[in-house]
Structures are given as C-alpha cells and as structure tokens.
Chains A and B, each alone.
Chain A
Amino acid sequence: AQDENLHDEL
C-alpha cells in the first residue's frame, strides 16, 4: 500500500 506522507528518502 501507499504509505502516505512517509518521506524517508532524500
């Protein structure tokens, strides 16, 4: 699923 707002990259 799409993890919304999970910005764990650069």
Chain B
Amino acid sequence: MNIFRFAADLLHVFAIATLLLKIWNTRSCAGISGKSQILFGLVYVTRYLDLFTTYVSLYNSVMKVFFVVTSAVAIFLIYVQYKKTYEHDLDLFRIELLLLPCAMLSLVINHEDIVLEVLWTFSTYLESVAIIPQLFMVKKSGGIEKFMIRYLIAFGSYRAIYLINWAYRYIMESHYDLIAIFAGILQTIIYILGFFLLRGVKVVVSDKEEEP
C-alpha cells in the first residue's frame, strides 16, 4: 500500500467520523441526507461481501468492517434514534434515479458475469453518485453547517487522492482497474460540480454546534 491510498483511506474515515460525531454531539441529524447514507450503506454491503471470500490484509478487513458498521450506525441514528430531527421534507431526491442506472450499467459493463463481481461493480458505480441526494438537500435547505463542509471536502478528496494512487500503481506496478478509474473520475467530478452548485449557499452555525 502506498502513501496516497493510506492518506485517502484516512480521509474517508475522517469524513464518516465527522458525520457520526456531529449527530452524537448535537443529538440531531438535521442537514444530513438519510438517502445518501442509505446509498453508502448499500455501497459498503455490496462491495464488502468479499470479506467472506477473499482475504487481502488485516488492514483491509478491519476497514471494511468499520465502513459497514459505521454506515449501519449512521442509518440507525437517522431513521430510529434521532428520527424526529431528520429533515425528510428536504431530503427529496429520488434514489431510484441513481439505483436503476447503476444496476443496469453494472450488469452490462463489468469484469465478469458472476454475482460477486456484478455487485462489486454496482457498488463502485453507486459510490460515485451516492452523494447527490446530500448535495440536493443542502441546495434545497439553502444553508450548510461547517461539519457538512468538512464532510464533503474530506469525502471528495478521498476519491480524488485514490486517482493519484491509481496513477502511481499504474506506473509502479502496471496495475489498473478501468471500472474503478472511470467511477473514481466521475465521483471526483460530481464533488467538484457539487461545490459549484453549493457556492452561494449560506454557512449556518447550529445552536448546539458551538461546543469545544
């Protein structure tokens, strides 16, 4: 593993921690798109089914479990524990508009026509667009809290740095995965477009956020 990938993974963990700590500290999931979190949950579950079939390293396994578990926790906090604070009236993006194209594309363009491989491909395509409901929610509410800015920057940088990792691996190891690279480029573009979409959105400070 090279430094780019490790740095990217740390940013990925940081993004998730930012989200969970915000919900935990303020006992509120205001401003967070439950739909994006459901999509990320699907991403992790469909991608990390290989926990049962392929062992890469202890690091990989621990991280995979971390992503699946924290994503389940986020969904639980939003839809059960702090359900009353979930702003479902602002979370209106139709996720089937993302799920169906990703499902169809993964059936057509994949490395191999076997279940695990199609699910991995679906997961990779879905990850690239999973943030869209969150971006629309921020746009619709017209305000964004600082934790959400940190979350979006960390999550966007994570895949952008993976692109550097893939360039590095191509040069050093002649290794590349066109599906991952294509989806990673799309994902990075979506975050960049997202920041353009959200320019002009007011940065708001929530009542409970100003704690040390």
Majority DSSP secondary structure for residues of B touching A: helix
Q: State which size class the interface on B falls in.
A: 20 to 34
Q: State which size class the interface on A falls in.
A: 10 to 19
Q: Within 8 Å of chain A (Cβ to Cβ): is B117?
A: yes
A-B contact count (CB 8 A): 32
Interface residues of A in 1-10 (CB under 8 A from B): 1-10
Residues of B within 8 A of A10 (CB): 9, 12, 60, 63-64, 67
Chain B, residues 29-67, CB within 8 Å of chain A (1/0): the string is: 000000000000000000100100010100010011001
**Please, how many angstroms separate the alpha-carbon atoms of A4 and B120 in the complex?**
12
**Please, how many angstroms separate the alpha-carbon atoms of A4 and B177 in the complex?**
7
Contacting pair A5 B174 (CB below 8 A): no
Q: Within 8 Å of chain A (Cβ to Cβ): is B208?
A: no
* A3 to chain B: closest residue by CB: B175
Chain B, residues 98-131, CB within 8 Å of chain A (1/0): the string is: 0000000000000110000100100000000000
Residues of A within 8 A of B5 (CB): 9
Would you give 8 A-B contacts (Cβ < 8 Å), ordered by A? A3-B177, A4-B111, A5-B117, A6-B177, A7-B120, A8-B60, A10-B12, A10-B67
